[in-house]
């Protein structure tokens, strides 16, 4: 039996999710056929339902439909509820659509397993307070960092997020102007959608310490402006979001197929994407 999945987004032509899931299929000896599907806000719901009617077993949902997708599914798992968005739909045998979010678990898997950078007990800075930030805050807070600071150009959006996720008073929101008063961070995560160019956003170099990990959630073959800023200011470890992309895909695969691919075996097979 061929197990059919797709990723729905706009634009979608450059998504590497099919490459990742096909390697997962080979390694777990499952026959996987994973495609890309373009939609618009007007067609998104019918695209999802058509996929199910055509025998698709599940789909991933990416920009800009992650929030809209909550309205399309029949059941929302707590991971997606908390994130306010979903990225994975499981098409249940009983005909229902079940929504999950694996972005946060994927980020944590990359930080903990691949990068040995568990946020537990660490000082973490999150740049940005939009959907990408909200999607990962719950799992980050679950690790009980010593402090998690959200900084955003529009500070009241950061404050709202902090109020929502501050379960143990370690989460705070600051404006860009307050950053220079902060001691260095162990982990700095860029969750803004746009590239952060020097012109648009100036971050103080004092945020970077001798062992800081600078992590851009965006997958990019070349340094993003955030990564370039971190490197230029001496961050010893600077990475893009490729690992998060692979790990969130592995967490979707386990929902669909019941096995989690050993991602450390997957990376060598995906070097052509780097």
Cβ-closest residue to ligand ATR?
A: 130
Q: How far apart are the first and last CA of the chain?
A: 31
State whether residue 41 is helix, strand or coil: coil
Per-residue string for binding with ligand ATR, 135-154, x by CB under 6 A?
-----------------xxx
Strand partners, 87: none
Q: Does 190 contact ligand ATR by CB under 6 A?
A: no
Write the DSSP string, 157-192.
HHHHHHHHH-SSS-EEEE-GGGGGGSPPEEEEEE--
**Part of the chain binding ligand ATR (CB under 6 A), chosen from 23-31, 136-144, 189-197, 245-253:** 189-197
102 within 8 A of 248, measured Cβ to Cβ: yes
Q: Does 129 contact ligand ATR by CB under 6 A?
A: yes
Q: Does 173 contact ligand ATR by CB under 6 A?
A: no
Smallest gap from Cβ 85 to ligand ATR, in A, equals 8
244 within 8 A of 217, measured Cβ to Cβ: yes
- Tokens (6 digits) for 149: 């600071």
Per-residue string for binding with ligand ATR, 82-121, x by CB under 6 A?
----------------------------------------
Token pair 């929902």 in the structure block, residue: 255
Smallest gap from Cβ 160 to ligand ATR, in A, equals 10
Name the residue among 147, 200, 199, 193 with its Cα closest to residue 174: 147
Nearer to ligand ATR by Cβ, of 153 and 269: the residue is: 153
Name the residue among 166, 175, 115, 113 with its Cα closest to residue 144: 166
State whether residue 42 is helix, strand or coil: coil
| 52 classed as catalytic | no
Q: Does 156 contact ligand ATR by CB under 6 A?
A: no
Q: Does 220 contact ligand ATR by CB under 6 A?
A: no
> Binding ligand ATR by CB under 6 A: which of 15, 60, 62, 192?
192
Nearer to ligand ATR by Cβ, of 27 and 176: the residue is: 176
Q: Does 200 contact ligand ATR by CB under 6 A?
A: yes
Residues identified as active-site: 66
């Amino acid at each position: 039996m061929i197990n059919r999945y797709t990723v729905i987004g706009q634009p979608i032509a450059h998504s590497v999710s099919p490459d990742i899931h096909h390697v997962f299929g080979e390694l777990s000896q499952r026959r996987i056929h994973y495609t890309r599907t373009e939609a618009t806000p007007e067609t998104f719901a019918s695209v999802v339902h058509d996929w199910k009617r055509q025998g698709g077993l599940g789909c991933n949902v990416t920009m800009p439909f992650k929030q809209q997708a909550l309205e399309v599914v029949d059941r929302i798992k707590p991971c997606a509820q908390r994130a306010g968005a979903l990225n994975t739909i499981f098409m249940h045998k009983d005909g229902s659509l079940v929504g999950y979010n694996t972005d946060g678990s994927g980020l944590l898997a990359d930080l903990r397993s691949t990068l040995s950078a568990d946020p537990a007990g660490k000082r973490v800075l999150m740049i940005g307070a939009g959907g990408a930030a909200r999607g990962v805050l719950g799992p980050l807070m679950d690790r009980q960092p010593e402090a998690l600071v959200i900084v955003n150009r529009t500070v009241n959006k950061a404050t709202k997020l902090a109020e929502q996720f501050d379960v143990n008073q370690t989460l705070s929101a600051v404006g860009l102007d307050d950053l220079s008063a902060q001691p260095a961070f162990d982990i700095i995560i860029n969750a803004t959608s746009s590239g952060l160019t020097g012109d648009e956003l100036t971050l103080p170099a004092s945020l970077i310490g001798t062992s800081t990990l600078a992590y851009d959630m965006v997958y990019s073959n070349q340094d993003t402006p955030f990564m370039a800023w971190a490197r230029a200011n001496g961050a010893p470890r600077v990475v893009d979001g490729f690992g998060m992309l692979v790990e969130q895909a592995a967490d979707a695969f386990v929902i669909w197929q019941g096995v989690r691919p050993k991602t450390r075996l997957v990376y060598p097979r995906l070097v052509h994407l780097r």
